[in-house]
Amino acid sequence: MKENFDVIIVGGGMVGAAAACSLGGSSLKIAVIENSLPPPFTKDQPHDLRVSALSIASKNILETIGAWEGVINRRFCPFRRMRVWETTGDTEFCSNDIGHSALGYIVENRVTQLALLERLKTFENIDLICPVGIKKIKYSADQCSEIELENGRVLSAKVLVAADGGQSKVRQAVGLGVTSWDYKQQALVIYIETAYEQQDITWQRFLASGPQAFLPLTGNYGSIVWYNSPDEVNRLKTLSYDELKDELVAAFPDCLGKVNKVLGVASFPLKRQHAQNYVKAGVVLIGDAAHMINPLAGQGVNIGLLDAAALGEVLIDATKKGLEIADLKVLKNYENMRRNENLKMMTVMDVFYQVFSNDVFPIKFIRNLGLGLAERILPAKNKVMRNAMGLEGNLPKLAKGERII
């Protein structure tokens, strides 16, 4: 027997769960399909390797849909300062300069997902179907689309939302194409214990071989992101933790402080991918299903959460006006809100990556000059800061702390 929904969201990760919560309490009947739940969280557990620097806009979204309390009840680390430098160019951003208590928050991805799923379960109009895999997706442009699950259940919906990552099954099933390429670098993520107490600064230093970054975690812990060639990352991964600690001490700046221990290591390739269209009749792409961005400034999750907020706003607005939510004209409103904004962010990150990932003298001189000027020209510096915090641009209502229901 077929089960009918208004919206089926495929993927219950951070972005998919946020999209569902944005529709929580509405008249729409929602299903969220997820193949596995994250493990439970306890505060005495080591930090996860996968963390994100959530912007103020992301915090506003989570707060407005009622999930932020689930984050702060678990574990998070605010940061007030951000330093960026290389050789002679150096600039430091501080939230006090624009009247905010923090620039952002370092949060483990699992903590954010758990907080969202916890909130999701409080809504009567949302059905979380988990754990389960998808057997078949049957797309229809002019009727309800269907999803057959591996447990035999068959679901239908007016709108399918692809929140199932960079290799999205939904995107492939409905025939939405992507443009993509790999960067010639990988990111090595290293979980460390430092001699420093709780820190409130995140920093990034640029070298020709790739950036080196530090993200503070709670207590005297931190997350190192070391960008380098695939061969060098693979070499570093073969080292013992003690040997890797010695490499960190030799390669990283003194502001890292004494590294007491290396506690965990992971790596991932750097890839850019962008869907040629975010929507077609009855289908929407959000998060990594729509775009994968260079993680240089940690904006991947943030723009995904902005997608979720924008989609919720568009669907709720259409419902209030009595419009058909699967209509291409309605869904185009979401694409118009998000695709160009995401493309701008992706382009900026690409330019940043190209400019800072080489040692050609004229380019090196210009970028050092640029960092030096950024430190001295306060209005420009503050605008950069506001953009990084998600306080500028075409923002959805939830990102500004405004309710949509």
Q: For the segment 265-303, what is each residue's pLDDT rounded down to a tens digit?
A: 999 998 899 999 999 999 999 999 999 987 776 788 999
Mean pLDDT estimate for the chain: 90
> Looking at residue 350, what is its pLDDT?
75
At the fourth CATH level, which superfamily is domain 2-78+104-180+272-357? Answer: FAD/NAD(P)-binding domain (3.50.50.60)
Share of the chain above pLDDT 90, in %: 76
> Looking at residue 75, what is its pLDDT?
97
Is the predicted pLDDT of residue 394 greater than 90, yes or no?
Answer: no
> Looking at residue 367, what is its pLDDT?
46
**And the tokens for 29?**
């009947």
Query: Domain boundaries in the chain?
Result: 2-78+104-180+272-357
Which tens digits make up the pLDDT trace of 180-230? Answer: 988 888 999 999 999 999 999 999 988 888 889 999 999 999 999 999 999
> Mean pLDDT throughout 63-82?
97
Is the predicted pLDDT of residue 372 greater than 70, yes or no?
Answer: no
Is the predicted pLDDT of residue 349 greater than 60, yes or no?
Answer: yes
> Looking at residue 390, what is its pLDDT?
73
Which tens digits make up the pLDDT trace of 95-127? Answer: 888 888 999 999 999 999 999 999 999 999 999
Contact 66, 25 (CB under 8 A): no
The predicted model scores a pTM of 0.93
Select from 316, 274, 18, 275 the least CA-distant residue to 159.
316
> Mean pLDDT throughout 144-166?
97
Select from 166, 174, 153 the least CA-distant residue to 13.
166
